[in-house]
Amino acid sequence: MKRWQTRRLGDLVEILSGFAFDSAHFSDAGDLPIVRIRDVVPGYSSTFYLGEYEEKFVIQDGDLLIGMDGEFNRAKWQGGRALLNQRVCHIEPSNRELDSQYLFHFLPAALKAIEDVTPFVTVKHLSVKTIRDIEIPLPPVAEQKRIAGILDQADALRALRRAALAKLDTLPQAIFADMFGDPVTNPKGWPRVRCADLCDRLTVGIVVKPASYYAEHGVPILRSLNVGPGFIRLDELVYADPEDNSPALLKAQLKTCDIVLVRSGQPGTAAIIPQSLSGAFAVDILIATPRLNLVQPAFLCQFFNSAGGRRLVLSEQRGQVQKHLNVGSLNEAQIPLPPLALQEEFARRVAAVEQLRSAHRDALTKLDELFAALQHRAFRGEL
């Protein structure tokens, strides 16, 4: 292991904190997007600022940003000229002693170490002073560039795997469109059937905030934040006491192949309950139990997640689009229904795609673990 000197980061970088732009001037369109904490990791923003600003708060593609609330993430901006909002900072080397890409790879572990020891009541906060006080190993610049180059190559492999996963994520919808067409125009002329006639159960989980049901361990509770388009997020699960047999909780119990749908935020977003979550409870999300002799869960779920399906489900009889999905609208949704054999073929194709996705996710997990180990060795002088 090489022994390098460490330096205080504040002696090697310049840090610009974002400005507290007035949210009253935020808009869906405008001259410059505004970068908030939520935009750091994606690298782009769809919110714009309409008003005067100082040029020093304008950032460019490739600028290195740090989110200073919640999770202390760092990422390179990719959204073009934009305005740096409060609680986001821009960091860059202030002299030739520090390579920018070496800094980029060093920051995640350093920020995570700070995050792990930062106390909080609601949200963790990071200060510029804390960033400046970080100690960074500082080998000669040539060595910094060599280390950064190795990490760049390893990170590129992870990026390729993520890109493959992103393409696979869009494949079920492409297969759906090819086999069944747009649900709104229904070009294949499938008969339309009320959603209520295709399901044994259409109901909403527990609507009131079930704080009294929460426990440290027990039966999983699924909320809207756990439901993604076609998948269940297992992070941020809460639990119910397994001894709680209250009628409200039992009414909201889920079974394998049930479909859960988000009511608001991204209304209509749907996912199928896997066998591993059978017996979980639904809170403030809709539950659909398909009649398997009429409709395949994979078909119905993809219908809900398709753009046309959401339009049909969220459109009331008078033609207005709702921002909140309710049981009544779901009951009355007119679903173009292909033959069951064709639905089953779709389910088989989606299952094959899911197998590929699972293999890619496993490979990405291993790459992430290897990359973390590589980073650890890199900044200990062991590469």
- Give the CA diameter of the chain: 73
How wide is the angle at C-alpha 311 spanned by C-alphas 205 and 163, nearest 5°?
Answer: 85
How wide is the angle at C-alpha 287 spanned by C-alphas 282 and 289, nearest 5°?
Answer: 130
Q: Cβ atoms within 10 A of the Cβ of 51, count?
A: 14
pLDDT tens digits along 275-314: 999 999 898 899 999 999 999 999 999 999 999 999 999 8
pLDDT tens digits along 262-272: 998 888 899 99
What pLDDT does 43 receive? 94
pLDDT tens digits along 92-123: 999 999 999 999 999 999 999 999 999 876 77
Span 6-138: which CATH code?
A: 3.90.220.20
Backbone torsions φ then ψ of 63, nearest 5 degrees: -65, 140
Q: For residue 334, is pLDDT > 90? A: yes
Q: Cβ atoms within 10 A of the Cβ of 345, count?
A: 16
Given CATH 3.40.50.1970, say whether it is the number of domain 191-337.
Answer: no
Q: Which residue has the tokens 């989110």?
A: 67
Exposure string over 143-171, b if 16+ CB within 10 A, otherwise e = bbebbbeebeebbeeeeebeeeeeebeeb
Q: Identify the CA nearest to 201 among candidates 291, 115, 137, 276.
A: 291
What pLDDT does 94 receive? 96
